[in-house]
Amino acid sequence: RRLQWRTRPSEQRLEDHKVLVIGAGLSGICAAVRLQEAGIPYEIVEKNDDIGGTWLENDYPDCGVDTANHIYSYSFKPKADWSRYFSKRDEILNYILETVRDYGIRDHIRFGVEVESMAWDEASARWQSRLRHRDGRTSLHDSRFVITAVGILNRPAYPDIAGLDDFRGAKFHTAEWDHEVELAGKRVAMIGTGASGMQAGPAIAGKVRHLSIFQRSPHWAGYNPLYHKTVSEGQMWALANVPLFAEWQRFLMFWASSDGFHSTLKMDPDWPQPDISLNRENHAMREMLVNYIKEQLNGDEELIRKCVPSYPPYGKRMLRDNNWYKTVLRGNVDLIDTAISRVVPEGVETSDGVTHAADVLILATGFNATRVLWPLEVAGRGERQLSDQWAGEDPRAYLGIAAPNFPNLFMTLGPNTGLAHGGSAIFHIECQVKYILQAMRETIERDQASVEVRQDVHDRYNDRVDEACKNMVWSHPGVNSWYKNDKNRVTITSPWRLVDYWALTRRFDPAEYTFTPRKSPEQ
Ligand code: N01
């Protein structure tokens, strides 16, 4: 729901509380819609030349979503005519562009501008942000509030493999796909078998001469009958015309990902096989997935050994089988699980001394997700750096939204709000934006200059997060992922069910925050 003012502030007061939104992806656009409805002035600064964030940057072959679109969309902009249950990148990008057009947001966005650093100015109780423009110029931006909407997976990670720069052919990351490079008839090497690799690999295997896939560890991938299906006209009609049908479907998906299988993710201390599964349900899930893999691989023992993960299901992001297993069975595809020793000019060398010749090298190696907000430099009260407060890779925030010492700064998809257990990230984004706007309303209506979460509230919440995560699959010692830092502390994923996070963020409680009054002009 849009924000309701209790006492509508004057235009002048609203103008004084201008907001800077960093990023024009799904989170930034959601924030913009709600700010606009509330009449709070805002500006979006976007590093790219267009709208869309992750859905603009990622356009590798067959790039798409693995959360059903009828929930992976804004609640305020339902769409009955998604062509598929799990849409491809272009359809999602068009949906974001439609939202921007319908709400008239484009004029509020400055493209090709990156926020390099931000500093809280105590005297004026405002944020001063240093912007770097594409032409190298820098400028200062002044705002009362800042909302970071930079996503989690926004900085491609390049593997630290010796000789990478020596490779003779074309090479690129999946998030920076080079469409100028012709793959037909080429020998291609792809490093990484996460969600990006698992979509891109099958999409290119049919056209390349040979595909060598380098797998460091296998990922679990499940089958969903709707994954490859288009939505029928009858279904679209019902979604558009039958009262409450779309809401009902959305609610079912919400429930399924919220409550449906949360217990699958929790360790049972008495479980006899803690290496491979967590509890009875998790084990049943494992057996179902293993049977599926065996069936897909036609009993090929060598490939089955390579493809069955040793860690429990959901330890890393559960993927959707995108014809992955059929792809690794192809005659022109090798799945290589011998460690890479180095990249050489003519291909990739593995620790057994074999060189796998390649003309093109694709890095499906994921993102620098663990350093939340990096490389943005944020200096709060008393010039305290956010990266110091977080000791680099140990980010914490109250509800993933607010951090002490950083007044008037709100995060979307901040620490411990990533969804690794199903459910739509857009749901979390909407919860966060609603909460943030309530915080702003409270500050503006009380005629305060700043709002800052109390340290004790923040600490207590993070203790709860840590306690909940301890028991969950991502903390499993056999799982190595970007969901946690090098101290095995889960920093990215949320331990809560969707409904829990909704309840936590539903109402902003002013008692959990400290407000600082606005200085009158003569002070
Ligand atoms: O990245 P990843 P991604 N040497 O980090 C391997 C979302 N997403 O881009 O597993 C060798 O998951 C690494 O190996 P390992 C979704 O949230 C969604 O694929 O660490 N290998 C892994 O195999 C997802 O979770 C969709 O052992 C190296 C791969 O590279 C997130 O994005 C589609 C290596 C990286 O996998 C990230 O997915 C795409 C090295 N030095 C993305 N370094 C959909 O919704 C890394 N690897 C469908």
3-state secondary structure 72-121: CCCCCCCCCCCCECCCEHHHHHHHHHHHHHHHCCHHHEECCEEEEEEEEE
Closest CA to 169 of 28, 387, 343: 343
Measured from the CB, is residue 216 less than 6 Å from ligand 1? yes
On whether ipTM exceeds 0.90, the answer is yes
Cα(242) to ligand 1 centroid in Å equals: 40
Report residue 522's pLDDT band, with 50, 70 and 90 as the boundaries: very low
From the CB of 191, is ligand 1 less than 6 Å away? yes
Phi, psi of 378 (to 5 degrees): -125, 120
Residue 83: its pLDDT value, please? 95
Site to probe by mutation for ligand 1, drawn from 342, 362, 365 as the one with most ligand atoms within 8 Å of Cβ, is: 365
Amino acid type, 408: N
Residue nearest to atom 12 of ligand 1 (CA): 194
Categorize the per-residue pLDDT at 260 as very low, low, confident or very high, splitting at 50, 70 and 90: low
CB of 370 closer than 6 angstroms to any ligand 1 atom: no
pLDDT of 224 reads 84
| Pairing between β-strand 347-350 and β-strand 355-357 as defined by DSSP bridges | antiparallel
Rounded CA-CA distance 336/312 in Å is 22
Neighbour count for residue 9 (Cβ, 10 Å): 18
CB 31 within 8 A of CB 412: yes
Q: Is 164 in the pocket of ligand 1 (CB under 6 A)?
A: no
Q: What are phi and psi of 148, to 5 degrees?
A: -90, 130
DSSP single-letter state for residue 189:
E
Q: Report CA-CA distances (Å) from 521 to 124, 197, 417.
A: 10, 57, 39
409-455 confidence digits (pLDDT tens): 999 999 999 998 878 999 999 999 999 999 999 999 999 999 999 99
194 lines ligand 1 (CB under 6 A): yes
161 Cβ below 6 A of ligand 1: yes
Report pTM.
0.96
Buried b (16+ CB within 10 A) or exposed e, 96-131: bbebbeebebeebbebebbbebbbbeeeebbbebeb
**Distance (Å, rounded) from C-alpha 345 to C-alpha 191?**
16
Q: How confident is the model at residue 223 (pLDDT cuts 50, 70, 90)?
A: confident
CA atoms of 47 and 155, how far apart (whole Å): 12
- The answer, yes or no, to whether residue 485 has pLDDT greater than 80, is yes
Across 328-379, where does the E strand assignment appear? 333-336, 340-344, 347-350, 355-357, 360-363, 377-379
Predicted local confidence at residue 436, as pLDDT:
98
What whole-number distance in Å separates Cα of residue 231 and Cα of residue 80? Answer: 10
- With a 6 Å cutoff on the Cβ, whether 35 touches ligand 1 is no
DSSP for 137-165, please give it.
Answer: -EEEEEESEEEE---SS-SBPPP--TTGG
**CB under 8 Å to 339, separation ≥6 — which residues?**
216, 350, 351
SS3 321: coil
pLDDT at 427: 95
Query: Is residue 365 lining ligand 1, measured as CB closer than 6 Å?
Result: yes
Question: Mean pLDDT over all residues of the chain?
Answer: 95
Predicted pLDDT at 521: 56
> Does residue 340 have a pLDDT over 90?
yes
H or E stretch covering 503? helix 498-505
CA gap 101, 111 in Å, rounded: 16
- Give residue 174 CA to ligand 1 midpoint distance, Å: 10
Ligand 1 probe mutation, 161, 196, 199, 424, most atoms within 8 A of CB: 196
Question: How far is ligand 1, taken at its centre, from the CA of residue 456, in Å?
Answer: 36
Interval 46-51 mean pLDDT: 97
482 lines ligand 1 (CB under 6 A): yes
The closest residue, in CA terms, to atom 29 on ligand 1 is 192
**Whether the CB of 65 sits within 6 Å of ligand 1:** yes
Residue 165 has pLDDT above 90, yes or no: yes
Q: Which atom of ligand 1 is nearest to the CA of 160?
A: 41
Q: Could you tell me if 118 and 129 are in contact, meaning their C-beta atoms sit under 8 angstroms apart?
A: yes
Tell me the three state secondary structure of residue 211: strand
Which residue has its alpha carbon closest to ligand 1 atom 18? 195
H or E stretch covering 187 = strand 187-191
Q: What is the pLDDT of residue 123?
A: 95
Tens digits of per-residue pLDDT, 173-211? 999 999 999 999 999 999 999 999 999 999 999 999 999
CA distances from 440 to 30, 115, 509 (A): 16, 22, 12
Atom of ligand 1 nearest to the CA of 193: 23
- Tell me what the mean pLDDT of segment 266-291 comes to: 95
Task: Identify the residue whose C-alpha is closest to ligand 1 atom 5.
Answer: 366
- The rounded Å distance from CA 298 to ligand 1 centre is 26
- pLDDT at residue 388 tops 60: yes
At 73 the pLDDT is 95
Locate 35 and state its tokens.
Answer: 């700010």
Q: For residues 187 and 169, what is the distance between their CA atoms, to the nearest angstrom?
A: 10
- What confidence tier does 520 reach under pLDDT thresholds 50, 70, 90? low
Q: Which mutation among 59, 89, 193 tests ligand 1's pocket best, with the greatest number of atoms within 8 A of CB?
A: 193
**What's the rounded mean pLDDT across residues 206-221?**
97
